[in-house]
Structure 1
Amino acid sequence: MKKNIFILGLLVIVSACKTSDVVEQKPVVASESDFIIAFGSCNKHDEVNPLWDDVLATNPNLWIWGGDNIYADTDNMEELRSVYEAQNNIPGYKKLKETVPVIGTWDDHDYGLNDGGVEFKAKKDSEQEFLDFMGVAKDSPRRTREGVYAVHNYNLPEGKIKVLVLDTRYFRTALTPSTSKERRVQPNVYGEGTILGEQQWKWLTEELTNSDADFNILVSSVQYISNKHGFEGWGNFPHEVDKLKRLLKDSKAKGAMILSGDRHISEFSVDNIDGIEYPLVDFTSSGLTHTYTGFSGEENPYRVGEVIFVKSFGMLDFNFKTKTVNFKMIGDNGRVLEQLRQKY
């Protein structure tokens, strides 16, 4: 039987046909959480970074970069490195790194090529710069493996959390340009192309199949569930969408969820998948320094709640006793813009 989803007060009304006027905002309330994850995406070092103090105020146990952590769009590694260094020197982010572990993935603008994939010629060098930014040791096995995907296990007295950071860039094959003016790209022919590539799929299958974690978090730079908007996303590779659904079902992984970015909007997308006892939540949080302020609506049959297009970051509040995760979109001054609670 599917477990219920609870929307906890839509605290900002930003509907498809309305402005982003704040109707009501409430501060983050301290909770009896066992673990807190904060995450975000779409961040420019040369614009005001207004949210790092708010991130710190949530007392997170972990910060996850969801991609487009910087905007470089270059195959020049000196230029890429200088932008990473500039971000590292942002005072608020620098303070965060002093107290909170940082992990994450990349998306196209920190990868180095807009909408780029397997064809990007500088990807191997770019990977090393990314790993430097993430503080990965020079002798780590990740330094000699293609792709930035990684697993992070958090074993707590109350239970276990597994974070599976995916790489949706390094191996991703070509997109299909759209023949419609309303879309940038359209889905590939079913069975053609890949997002993750053979080796990453093998790794992910092993990690989920052998997972004994209470919660399994997949970090994807692009949206997994929302598939009608005509931009980048898993929906452009429908066979890969189905493959992950089968894997989640067959692996019997507990408490699986997806964190995504890229879109310059934030929203909750929820899908009930046959054979999985809980709804799959795709929490999109984007962006940290700039958003799609001209948003005028798009179809997403899986959306729960409203689209938020003010600057925000995501927060996940885990309670092992109740097997509950409280997902929150948080804006400047610690305002909760929207939240959703899911019991697993």
Structure 2
Amino acid sequence: MKVILSLFLSFFLFISCGSNSKTPHNEARDAPETFDFIIAFGSCNRQDEAQPLWDAILEEEPDLFLWGGDNIYADTDDMNELEADYREQKNHPNYKKLWKTIPVLGTWDDHDYGKNDAGKDWEFKEESQQLFLDFFDVPENDPRREREGVYHSQTFTEDGKSINVIVLDTRYFRSDLEPSDKPGQRYKINAEGTVLGTQQWKWLENELKNSTADYNVILSSIQILSAEHGFETWGNFPSETKKLEELLQASEAKNVIILSGDRHISEFSEQRMEGLNYPLVDFTSSGMTHSYSDFRGEPNQYRIGEVVSDLSFGLLKFDFDSGEVKMEMRGVGNKLQQEYLVKYIE
């Protein structure tokens, strides 16, 4: 779908075109821009609080919306309560406008999974999975109804170009986390544990090695690149991070973009990885109803630009002719908070 947007940019524009240049640009531009496909995404959404971002999301006219996890806050072993929380969110008037008009996909994180920071040992994960699938109107004959985990993929095609959306499950199989007594670090590093589990790794390997899509968007509820903050992250499982890096290099899947949530902040992280002819970006967008408003800073060696700690949602705006993807953070009133432009190679 071609969407014409008039943008007046008053924030920094960060441009990446396969070089290491991270020079900010702040010139104003008001020429109309054309996009071939728009993905909106967000995470950390309380169903029982004000949800001020749906109007702004609808204003952007996305072609697809992705839930990045913590889509509701339940934290309960009462499945009737969990079902009621999902029902409350699904009936939110402005969210209903969205899911009745465009496709909605997503993953879960801990609070909609059912227990804070829970992993493979959550005793109600099977029941929780079925309620999650109900929320997304997944048919009874869909493979996700029978297999363990909510991982999934779907390819979207527009104007001869394709985007493969790969949704990961970082809860169902994830190894236990052990509390750390080190200041500033909630959990110890687990050198041998897993994030995805054996079967999901096999599935992901098949997805990437057999992908013919022009872009591959990987949705992970927790951050992949940012690993120094001491909270939940793929970095707590360094062998899994290394395994993913090796898979991206070996698979030759084109133009992988990572989306993540969980943190109640939004930021761009970028890694220059040997064997990839594009920068690997982990775009974190987190905090649709509440955010880390008193954020004071934390290390992230891969960060590009600034951390946004206000309510926020994310956008990927694809221009297939130029190969550019504009990544935007937007807030209440559709205010542009920050953007990053990446030019991908055909």
* TM > 0.5: yes
- Deviation, structure 1 residue 8: 9.0
Kindly state the Cα deviation for residue 4 of structure 1 after the two structures are TM-superposed. Answer: 3.3
1:250 is aligned to: 250
Task: Look up the SS of the partner of 2:100 in the other structure.
Answer: helix
Which residue matches 2:166?
164
State the secondary structure of the residue aligned to 1:82: helix
Q: What is aligned with 1:182?
A: 184
Deviation of 1:185 after TM superposition, in Å, equals 1.0
1:203 alignment partner in structure 2: 203
* Code of the aligned partner of 1:91: P
| Other structure's SS at 2:127 match | helix
Q: 1:287 — aligned with what?
A: 287
CA–CA separation in structure 2 for the residues paired with 1:293 and 1:321: 38
Separation in structure 2 between the aligned mates of residue 120 and residue 10 of structure 1, nearest angstrom: 47
Picking from 75, 78, 93, the partner of 1:91 is 93
**Deviations 1:9-57 (CA, angstroms, capped at 9, x unpaired):** 688xxxxxxxxxxxxxx99986311100000000001110000010000
Once the two structures are superposed, what CA deviation does each residue of 1:166-192 show, in whole Å capped at 9, x if it has no partner? 000000011132121211113213xx1
Match of 1:220 in 2: 220
Q: Aligned partners of 1:31 and 1:283: how far apart in 2?
A: 22
Q: Does 1:229 align with 2:226?
A: no
Secondary structure at 1:235 match in 2: helix
Query: What CA deviation, in whole Å up to 9, does each residue of 1:131-168 have, x standing for no partner?
Result: 00011011212100100000011122230100000000
Tell me by how many angstroms 1:322 deviates. 1.2
1:263 aligns to what? 263
Q: Which one is further off, 318-327 or 201-210?
A: 318-327
Q: Contact (CA 8 Å) 1:316, 1:328: kept in 2 or not?
A: yes
Contact in 2 for aligned 1:147/1:170 (Cα 8 Å): yes
- Which has the higher mean CA deviation after the structures are superposed, 35-44 or 134-143? 134-143
Count of equivalent residues:
328
Partner of 2:130: 128
CA offsets 1:259-296 (integer angstroms, 9 cap, x no match): 00000000000001111111100000011000001211
2:120 paired residue among 109, 118, 122? 118
Q: Which residue of 2 aligns with 1:69?
A: 71
Helix, strand or coil at the partner of 1:177: coil
- For residues 279 and 337 of structure 2, the distance between their equivalents in structure 1, rounded to whole angstroms, comes to 22
Q: Is the CA contact (8 Å cut-off) linking 1:7 and 1:340 kept in structure 2?
A: no
Q: Any idea what the Cα deviations from partners look like across 1:193-223, whole Å, max 9, x if unmatched? A: 1000000000000010000101000000000
- Give the letter for the 1:255 counterpart: N
Other-structure match for 1:20: none
Residues 1:207 and 1:89: Cα distance change in structure 2 (over 3 Å): same
- The answer to whether the Cα contact below 8 Å between 1:185 and 1:231 also exists between their aligned partners in 2 is yes
The residue type equivalent to 2:220 in the other structure is: S
SS at match of 2:156: strand
8 Å CA contact 1:32–1:319 kept in 2: the answer is yes
Aligned equivalents of 1:290 and 1:336: distance in 2? Answer: 18
Tell me the distance in 2 between the aligned counterparts of 1:91 and 1:315.
22
Q: Give unmatched runs, 5+ long, in structure 2.
A: 1-16
Aligned mates of 2:292, 2:147 — CA distance in 1: 35
Matched, 1:4 2:6: no
Scaled by the length of structure 1, what TM-score is found? 0.92
Q: Which runs of 5+ in 1 are unaligned?
A: 12-25
Q: Distance in 1 between matches of 2:157 and 2:78?
A: 39
Equivalent-residue separation in structure 1 for 2:214 and 2:34 (angstroms):
18
CA distance in 2, matches of 1:5, 1:219: 25
Counting only pairs closer than 5 Å after superposition, residues 130-149 of structure 1 correspond to structure 2 as: 130-149=132-151
Q: Choose from 30, 35, 56 the match for 2:37.
A: 35
Q: Which string of whole-angstrom CA distances, capped at 9 and with x for unpartnered residues, describes residues 227-281 of structure 1?
A: 0000001000001001001100000111101000000000000001111111100
Distance 1:72 1:27 in 2: 43
Compute the TM-score of the two structures, normalised by the length of structure 2. Answer: 0.91
Percent of aligned positions that are identical? 53
Report the Cα offset of residue 76 of structure 1.
1.1
Q: What amino acid is aligned across from residue 235 of structure 2 in structure 1?
A: G
CA RMSD of aligned residues (A): 1.9
Name the amino acid aligned to 1:263. R
Q: Is the 8 A contact 1:112 1:126 kept in 2?
A: yes
Secondary structure of the corresponding residue to residue 267 of structure 2: strand
Secondary structure at 1:125's aligned position in 2?
Answer: helix
CA distance in 1, matches of 2:331, 2:23: 16
Regions of 4+ moved over 3 Å: 4-11, 26-30
Letter in 2 for 1:196: L
Supply the AA of the counterpart residue of 2:233: G
For 1:261 and 1:308, the matched residues in 2 are separated by: 13
Q: Does 1:272 align with 2:287?
A: no
